[in-house]
Amino acid sequence: MRILNLSAEPLGKLHAWLPRDLRAEHVVFLPDACPGKSPLPTGTAVLTRQPDWRRFAVSDCGCGMRLVRSRLGRGDLTPAAWDAVAEALRRNKGDLGDLGGGNHFLDALAPTVDDRLHLLIHTGSRAESGHVDALVDDPDAFDAAFDRVAAWAAANRAAVHDAAAAVLGPLDLVLDLPHNTYERLPGGGAIIRKGAVRVAPGDLNIIPSHMAGDAALVRATSRVADTLFSLSHGTGRAMSRAASKPLADSYDFARLRERVRIPAGVHDASLRTDGPYAYRDLDACLALLDGYVDVVERFAVVGYMGHL
């Protein structure tokens, strides 16, 4: 098995996160590599030709990110406007345009080069993904269900886009990338990407860090051929949700709210497991990807909403 480790974790630790029954030809660990609920760790790309590879491709199969550019400047994001976007998304609860829970979010991003506000939408597939998990022994049904859920999740991100545009005005699409996918290979097998986006040389990707940290818009170089044409979808968790809860007790959420606009009704208690202390640093992630990406733009988070 060929392994490319672009994470800061020791190889022995990474090996322990892989399923024991995985027979892979090539495994790529990206900077955001961390264990999760799915069979494969988040932040991995795996090339395997074992016939039952679909059982490693389950879990949150519609998750993805959508980056859009507004016509507004940073100073145009008023508390009233941000609250109105949150209310619009709350009205979509259970339907298309629902932001969902967990670590899914809508960020308002201010670029360093110009003043045009951007929005980053990160949503999953909610209960829809569970419809795929039971079909791993029926390839045709699995593939059809996976495609349906991925299309549903993309439509959900588009509906969040539309809800925000109804309040903030026109929002131009920059990119929309799913990050839990598979790519079937000629002759059998697949490249499975868990918490990793598929890119070709020259493609754009967005790498956020956390609700108080920067995000980077990057362009893939030719070296992504070595990563199974895969890149990070974020910096990754530095600790589990359970381990992050005690740190929330001493974290200054009031100061966070002075720096980052958070809508009314989003309480500190709901942010305990997803606070800035729970995630890795953007610059450390970019250093690990040196040579694989070029930074196009850097953003500061000026607005956050999640747990609506």
Query: Mind listing the pLDDT tens digit for each residue in 26-70?
Result: 999 999 999 988 899 999 999 999 999 999 998 888 899 999 999
| 266 touches 274 (CB < 8 A) | no
Amino acid (one-letter) located at 136: V
Query: Mind listing the pLDDT tens digit for each residue in 268-295?
Result: 999 999 999 999 999 999 999 999 999 9
Question: CA-CA distance, 215 to 111, in Å (whole number)?
Answer: 9
Q: What is the pLDDT of residue 128?
A: 67
Query: Mind listing the pLDDT tens digit for each residue in 118-138?
Result: 999 999 887 766 778 889 999
Name beta bridge partners: 207.
216
Q: What is the pLDDT of residue 130?
A: 73
Give the C-alpha distances (Å, rounded to integers) separating 186 from 49, 138, 228. 10, 19, 15
Average pLDDT, the chain: 94
Tally of domains within the chain: 1
Query: Mind listing the pLDDT tens digit for each residue in 149-199?
Result: 999 999 999 999 999 999 999 999 999 999 999 999 999 999 999 999 999
Q: Could you give the angle at which helices 139-168 and 79-91 cross, rounded to 10 degrees?
A: 140
CATH number, domain containing residue 283: 3.90.1860.10
Nearest CA to 249 out of 228, 213, 277 is that of 277
Query: Mind listing the pLDDT tens digit for each residue in 105-116?
Result: 999 999 998 889
Range of the domain at 146: 2-305
Q: What is the pLDDT of residue 220?
A: 98
